[in-house]
């Protein structure tokens, strides 16, 4: 069976897995646009993610996130970085629109903690009590759902550039229609 032509690349995974940094590199290499779900929500509302959680609550944030994702998943020639919660909703990664290649950037809780050190307060879900314990709890619930992505790339020991290179290698192999120049 011939695969659908590639229209978009979607990165899913936990906070701190590198979706934004890796996504930017992949987009640059493909000559495509890069869009981050959280950035779109911030642009729309004029408020930061922690502010939205504080003033509107998590449920309203999730509604905004769903609406942004539904729109972006119709666009072509884009690399999309989802928020960590979006791809953790059962059923989403198995019902993606045709032409979408989805990559799970896998990460462990201790590594999330190391990567979050430079950005205190940026992630409201990890500001509740013991952050390492909370990250481990969420990962345990979410990993079985993230795992439904077609591709898994372990980011644990890898630099952002190496993760991007691995993704590009898969894309060029699976989609000869995109030119590797
Ligand atoms: C969240 C992840 C965050 C952001 C919000 C909630 C989550 O995005 O959407 O803080 O539920 O995992 P990143 O994964 O880009 O940090």
Testing ligand 1's pocket by substitution, the residue of 16, 22, 38, 40 carrying the most ligand atoms inside 8 A of its CB is 38
Element (H, E) at 171: helix 160-174
From first to last of its 181 residues, what are the pLDDT tens digits of the chain? 566 899 999 999 999 999 999 999 999 999 999 999 999 999 999 999 999 999 999 999 999 999 999 999 999 999 999 999 999 999 999 999 999 999 999 999 999 999 887 777 788 898 878 899 999 999 999 999 999 999 999 999 999 999 999 999 999 999 998 877 6
Q: What's the confidence (pLDDT) of residue 71? A: 98
CA distance 53 to 51: 5
Q: Whose CA is closest to atom 2 on ligand 1?
A: 84
Which stretch of DSSP H or E encloses residue 8?
strand 8-12
Q: Are 156 and 107 in contact (CB under 8 A)?
A: yes
The first and second tokens of residue 93, run together, are 């990664």
DSSP, residue by residue, 57-72 = -HHHHHHHHHHHHHHH
Distance 131 CA to ligand 1 centre (A): 14
N-terminal to C-terminal alpha carbon distance within the chain = 26
What was the pLDDT predicted at 1? Answer: 56
pTM of the model: 0.96
């Amino acid at each position: 069976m011939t695969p659908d032509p590639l229209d978009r690349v979607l990165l899913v995974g936990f906070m701190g897995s590198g979706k934004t940094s890796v996504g930017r590199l992949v987009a640059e290499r493909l000559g495509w646009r890069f869009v981050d779900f959280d950035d779109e929500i911030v642009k729309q509302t004029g408020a930061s993610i922690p502010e939205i959680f504080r003033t509107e609550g998590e449920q309203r944030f999730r509604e905004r996130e769903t609406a942004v994702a539904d729109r972006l998943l119709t666009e072509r020639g884009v690399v999309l970085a989802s928020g960590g919660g979006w791809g953790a909703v059962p059923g989403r990664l198995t019902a993606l629109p045709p032409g979408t290649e989805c990559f799970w950037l896998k990460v462990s809780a201790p590594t999330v903690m190391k990567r979050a050190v430079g950005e205190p307060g940026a992630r409201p879900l990890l500001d509740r009590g013991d952050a390492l314990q909370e990250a481990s709890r969420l990962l345990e619930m979410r990993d079985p759902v993230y795992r439904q992505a077609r591709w898994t790339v372990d980011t644990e020991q890898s630099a952002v550039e190496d993760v991007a290179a691995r993704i590009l290698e898969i894309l060029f192999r699976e989609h000869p229609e995109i030119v590797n120049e």
